[in-house]
Amino acid sequence: MIKRRKTRIVKVGNVKIGSSCPVVIQSMTKVATVDVAKCVKQVNQLAQAGCQLVRIALPTRADTIAFAKIVQKVSIPLIADIHFSPARAVEAIEAGAAKIRLNPGNIKNHKDILRIIDAAKMHKTAIRIGVNEASIRDLKNQDVPQKKRVALMLKEMKKYVRFFEKHNFTQLVLSAKSSDCLRTIEINRSIAENFDYPIHIGLTHAGLAQDAQIPSAIAIGTLLAEGIGDTIRVSIAGNPVAEAQIAKQILVGIGLQKSNKPELTVCPTCGRCQIDVVKLAQKIKKALNGIDKPLRVAVMGCVVNGPGEAADADIAVCAAKNKGYIYRNGKKISTIPENKIIPALLKEIKNNQ
Ligand code: SF4
């Protein structure tokens, strides 16, 4: 059981973040914000895929005008992603952003940040303060050692948090982003030690899906296992629905979320294999698509480890020479000739829906 870090609770619309509240999955829309219909469609797809919050980039006035319409058309709270422009931040808050994501480092004038704080207080909008390794001037030099990098990011975060607290604003979520897995872990550990605000975690600029998912899972999974992290985003270049799916897999894998989808266990296969396990597993996976039930199905290539896995599965097959043993809830229920294994398993899955 993971013991979550105790933090303040921050409300983002109807979603609570922090302490023992469930870890929230978020992602970002990747279509032009001014295209309201496309944006609404993507927000809905992300909500369907498991996101409780979705962030939208608002670089121009036209985007904040569109954002006001998008807020009205979706059912989950939206986060406005703001860079450089205090005007966009205030417009987004007034348009109904439940949270804004701000890197105070790129809004130079304190008076401008105060305007944002005042608007956020008035509209009960949360603010996520982001510190990005790439945007800290002193870290541009490649040779800066890891410890110093982490210390400089923490120093920057302390400066921002102090400023917001001095102006009585505590509806804060903190995030420190790096594209380096170990630095992401280290900086978030430091933030967790130094502040009691909820933390948003993720690896930034992680790459294409095939390159990004393992480093993201390592960084996010390590921190979550230590109880650190209250919202997560898996950043990948590509369809954001995949971000939500990978984030969900991380949460399910680490036991922080229950899956309502079937889980397929497949033996890795080896020289003892007595059937084409991969082909069979692919067919079973296809058959499991669209089933919204936490069903555990195991496909095992021989009887060496098969019965053990079968005991943990709702439905399982263990292959033997020219035949397969079908298990239901750990009990062997039938012996099937090899060419009838797939229909027999599919029938069992159907009966279990
Ligand atoms: S279940 Fe059998 S075939 Fe599959 S990996 Fe284990 S020993 Fe090999």
Closest C-alpha residue for ligand 1 atom 5: 269
Euclidean distance between CA atoms 155 and 149, whole angstroms:
10
Contact 241, 49 (CB under 8 A): yes
Atom of ligand 1 nearest to the CA of 267: 4
What DSSP letter does each residue of 216-228 carry, written as one string?
HHHHHHHHHHTT-
**Residue 112 to residue 68: CA distance in whole angstroms:** 22
Lowest pLDDT segment from 75-79, 215-219, 321-325: 321-325
Q: Edge-to-edge, what's the strand order for the sheet holding 78-82?
A: 172-177, 126-132, 99-102, 78-82, 53-57, 24-28, 231-232, 200-201
Q: Closest Cα to residue 243, out of 212, 215, 285, 218?
A: 212
Return the pLDDT at 276: 87
From 265, 266, 270, 274, the mutation candidate for ligand 1 (largest count of ligand atoms within 8 A of CB) is 270
CA atoms within 13 A on the CB side of 283: 13
- Could you tell me where in the chain the CATH 3.30.413.10 domains are found? 263-352
Q: Which atom of ligand 1 is nearest to the CA of 272?
A: 3
- The alpha carbon of residue 322 and the mean position of all alpha carbons in its chain are separated, in whole angstroms, by 43
Quickly state the pLDDT bin for 254 (edges 50, 70, 90).
very high
Nearest residue by C-alpha to atom 2 in ligand 1: 302
Is residue 198 within 8 Å of residue 176, measured between CB atoms? no
Domain with CATH 3.20.20.20 in the chain: 10-253
- Examine the pLDDT at 305 and tell me if it is beyond 90: no
pLDDT band at 138 (very low <50, low <70, confident <90, very high): low
Question: Residue 195: pLDDT above 90?
Answer: yes
Residue entry with tokens 């033997």: 320
**pLDDT score of 185 more than 90:** yes
77 lines ligand 1 (CB under 6 A): no
Could you say which DSSP state residue 314 is in?
A: S
Supply the DSSP string of 159-176, one letter for each residue: HHHHHHHHTT---EEEEE
Probe ligand 1: pick from 266, 272, 275, max atoms within 8 Å of CB?
272
Which residues face 172 on adjacent strands?
127
Determine the Cα–Cα distance for residues 206 and 214; give it in Å rounded to an integer: 10
For ligand 1, say whether the CB of 267 is within 6 Å of any of its atoms. yes
Q: Does ligand 1 come within 6 angstroms of the Cβ of 298?
A: no
Q: Which residue has the higher pLDDT, 283 or 59?
A: 59
- What are the backbone angles phi and psi of residue 340, rounded to the nearest 5°? -110, 5
User: What is the reported pLDDT for 142?
Assistant: 67
pLDDT band with cut points at 50, 70 and 90 for residue 147? confident
* Centroid of ligand 1 to alpha carbon of 273 (angstroms): 6
User: What CATH architecture applies to the domain 263-352?
Assistant: 2-Layer Sandwich (3.30)
Pairing of strands 315-320, 296-300: parallel
pLDDT single digits (tens) 200-251 = 999 987 788 888 899 999 999 999 999 999 999 999 999 999 999 999 999 9
Q: Which atom of ligand 1 is found nearest the CA of 303?
A: 2
Helices marked H in 209-333: 209-225, 240-253, 277-288, 306-312
Q: What does the pLDDT average to over 133-159? A: 79
102 lines ligand 1 (CB under 6 A): no
DSSP annotation of 316 reads E
Is residue 187 over pLDDT 70? yes
- 130-144, 146-160, 202-216, 267-281: segment of lowest average pLDDT: 130-144
How much distance in Å is there from the Cα of 351 to the middle of ligand 1? 27
* Amino acid 302: pLDDT: 87
Q: What pLDDT does 136 receive?
A: 66
Contact 77, 51 (CB under 8 A): no
Q: Mutate which of 280, 300, 317, 325 to test ligand 1's pocket (most atoms within 8 Å of Cβ)? A: 300
Average pLDDT over residues 39-67: 97
CA distance 179 to 234: 12
Given a cut of 90, whether residue 161 has pLDDT beyond it is yes
Ligand 1, atom 6, lies closest to the CA of 305
Query: Of how many residues is the chain composed?
Result: 353
Q: What is the CATH number of domain 10-253?
A: 3.20.20.20
Task: Assess contact for 35 and 48: CB atoms under 8 A.
Answer: no
The pLDDT of residue 259 is 82
